[in-house]
């Protein structure tokens, strides 16, 4: 089998920089439009001469998804999609001092040449649609919170014109209506697919997870490969502990890494808070952490992590939430 072409891609909204190396030839660089035509051109470029190709690009949401899918569909091309934090750390280790799209593409090329290659598998279309809708609902929720904060400030200033209050009310009503429409669309996708429907039912069996939280959690978890372990889920969410020690003099407090999916991490926060209030087994687990001198936020994060483990078990075994398996109440 002939040696593959290796390519690194740094992608943005309008274009992407490519650094690629064919066996026995010097490094080449180019820049293409981030469009269907640009994607086809890159595929032709990399498969010229019938050689296989291995391409690495960073996970940058909607900007990278179409390109990764186009590359994956092309015979002879394998794609690896990596967390941007991973390539950033790699560049720091390689002491890259200059940062441009072109130099980032070269660094990603070095990464794919030196590191183990893990092929990317695109999620099903309905799962991608669900994730896009869930993230849009999250964005609308954040905008709504900002608007309510502004409304709170304007309500206390009598000198502002009444038109501002009317405009704020109309904006909030629009955001609420948009969120409701998207929620109905997300539920329709879930109900149309048996696996999503089953997992959604398991999620809402947890006291603390209702419709919105279930949609957000399901959308982020459904894209994960089936062979991932529970600890990998935790690391993917950035909830794994990060230790910082050096010799005998430096020992910082252990914190979560936050190197992972912030959407999933955020989607676990409110369910954890509500479960602490209304689910006896979760509350008991939280209280025993406080009794061990854990700070309240540390205990909440521990609940989030344990709740994610519980969801993993629920999905794996097809069962609803069981409080005594989360934490046995003291007798």
**pLDDT over 90 for what percent of the chain?**
63
Q: Residue 63 — pLDDT band, cuts 50, 70, 90?
A: confident
The SS3 assignment for 256 reads strand
* Tokens linked to 159: 């000198």
Q: Mean of the pLDDT values across residues 148-157?
A: 78
Q: Mean of the pLDDT values across residues 249-276?
A: 80
CA 36 to chain centroid, in Å, comes to 25
Across 79-88, 240-249, 306-315, 321-330, the highest mean pLDDT is recorded for 306-315
- Res 138 pLDDT > 90: yes
- Res 257 pLDDT > 90: no
pLDDT of residue 97: 75
Tell me the pTM.
0.76
* Tokens linked to 314: 């629920």
pLDDT of residue 292: 94
Q: Express each pLDDT in 176-232 by its tens digit.
A: 999 999 999 999 999 999 999 999 999 999 999 999 999 999 999 998 878 788 888
For 3: left if phi > 0, alpha if psi spans -120 to 50, otherwise beta; the answer is beta
pLDDT of residue 246: 46
- Res 252 pLDDT > 60: no
Measured distance CA(203)–CA(214) in Å, rounded:
6
| N-to-C CA span, the chain | 65
Q: Express each pLDDT in 15-62 by its tens digit.
A: 999 999 988 889 999 999 999 999 999 999 999 888 899 999 988 766
Q: Mean of the pLDDT values across residues 149-171?
A: 79
Q: Mean of the pLDDT values across residues 122-126?
A: 88
Residues 6 or more apart from 303 whose CB is under 8 A from it? 272, 275, 276, 282, 285, 286
pLDDT of residue 134: 96
Q: Residue 93 — pLDDT band, cuts 50, 70, 90?
A: confident
Q: Residue 254 — pLDDT band, cuts 50, 70, 90?
A: low
pLDDT of residue 242: 61
* Tokens linked to 6: 């290796």
Measured distance CA(206)–CA(282) in Å, rounded:
10
Q: The dihedral of CA 253, 269, 261, 33: what is its sign?
A: negative
- Res 245 pLDDT > 60: no
Contact 39, 73 (CB under 8 A): no
pLDDT of residue 250: 44
Superfamily of the domain at 5-114: ATPase, nucleotide binding domain (3.30.420.40)
Do you know the residue count of the chain?
331
The whole-chain average pLDDT of the chain stands at 89
Q: Express each pLDDT in 276-321 by its tens digit.
A: 999 999 999 999 999 999 999 999 999 999 999 999 999 999 999 9
Q: Mean of the pLDDT values across residues 160-175?
A: 86
């Amino acid at each position: 089998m002939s040696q593959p072409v290796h390519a690194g891609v740094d992608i943005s909204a309008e274009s992407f920089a490519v650094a690629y190396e064919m066996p026995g030839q010097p490094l080449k660089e180019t820049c293409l439009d981030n469009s269907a035509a640009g994607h086809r051109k890159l595929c032709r470029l990399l498969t010229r001469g019938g050689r296989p190709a291995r391409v690495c690009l960073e996970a940058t949401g909607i900007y990278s998804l179409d390109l990764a899918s186009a590359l994956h569909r092309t015979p002879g091309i394998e794609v690896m999609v990596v967390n941007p934090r991973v390539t950033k750390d790699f560049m720091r280790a390689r002491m890259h001092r200059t940062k441009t799209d072109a130099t980032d593409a070269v660094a990603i090329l070095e990464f794919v040449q030196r590191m183990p290659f893990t092929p990317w598998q695109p999620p099903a279309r309905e799962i991608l649609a669900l994730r896009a809708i869930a993230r849009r609902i999250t964005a609308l929720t954040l905008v709504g919170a900002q608007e309510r904060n502004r409304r709170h400030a304007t309500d206390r200033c009598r000198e502002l014109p009444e038109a501002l209050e009317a405009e704020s009310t109309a904006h909030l009503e629009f955001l609420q209506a948009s969120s409701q429409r998207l929620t109905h669309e997300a539920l329709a996708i879930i109900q149309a697919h048996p696996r999503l429907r089953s997992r959604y039912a398991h999620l809402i069996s947890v006291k603390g997870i209702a419709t919105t939280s279930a949609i957000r959690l399901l959308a982020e978890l459904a894209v994960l490969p089936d062979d991932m372990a529970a600890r990998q889920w935790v690391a993917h969410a950035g909830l794994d502990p990060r230790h910082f020690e050096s010799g005998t003099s430096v020992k910082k407090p252990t914190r979560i890494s936050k190197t992972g999916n912030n959407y999933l991490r955020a989607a676990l926060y409110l369910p954890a808070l509500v479960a602490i209030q209304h689910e006896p087994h979760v509350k008991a687990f939280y209280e025993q952490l406080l009794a061990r001198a854990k700070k309240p936020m540390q205990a909440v994060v521990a609940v989030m992590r344990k709740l994610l483990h519980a969801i993993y078990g629920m999905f794996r075994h097809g069962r609803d939430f069981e409080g005594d398996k989360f934490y046995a109440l003291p007798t």
